[in-house]
Structure 1
Amino acid sequence: MPKTTQLRTYTVRDGLLDEWVRRWESDIVPLRLELGFEIGGAWIDRERNQFVWLISYDGPETFTERNALYWSSPARKDMDLDPDDYLVSTDDRTVERSY
């Protein structure tokens, strides 16, 4: 399968941006990496209370199939992390590198 990259923009609930970033770094990133995803970077937009990051997958499955594996994994369930507790909205866009 070709490499798929998503640009993800999350609008975070007021007062929870730093806590979300800590949870993302400590819980989400290690499992994503373990499952073969690549993290292309992450940025905080404090003015808009947003968290922006790039995630890619280049493996035998589609991004969608691998993402489903992430969400159904026992490790993900053990995180006790419901994104709805932190996020007001999400915007996930599949993007292609042009430069």
Structure 2
Amino acid sequence: MAKTTQLRTYVVRDGLLDAWVQRWQADIVPLRLELGFEIGGAWVDRERNQFVWLISYDGPETFADRNALYWASPARKAMKLDPDDYLVSTDDRTVEERY
């Protein structure tokens, strides 16, 4: 499979941006890395209350298949992290690197 990269933009609930970033760093990132994903960076846009990050997968499965494995994993369930508690909306875009 070819490498797939997604640009993810999340609008975070008022007052929860820093709490979301802490949960993302502590819980989501380690599991994503363990499952073979790469994190290309993450940014906070405080003016728009947004969290933006790049996630890639370059392995034998499709990004969608590997993402489904992430969501179904016992470790993900053990997080007891419901994104809806933090996020108002999400926009996930598959992008192609050019530089």
Relative to the length of structure 2, the TM-score reads: 1.00
Letter in 2 for 1:43: W
3-state SS, counterpart of residue 51 of structure 1:
strand
Deviation by residue 1:41-97 (Cα, 9 ceiling, x = unmatched)? 000000000000000000000000000000000000000000000000000000000
Distance 1:84 1:44 in 2: 18
Alignment of 1:1-99 (within 5 A): 1-99=1-99
Amino acid in the other structure paired with 1:67:
N
**Cα distance in 1, alignment partners of residues 32 and 67 from structure 2:** 9
Structure 2, unpaired ranges of 5+: none
Tell me how large the CA RMSD over aligned residues is: 0.2
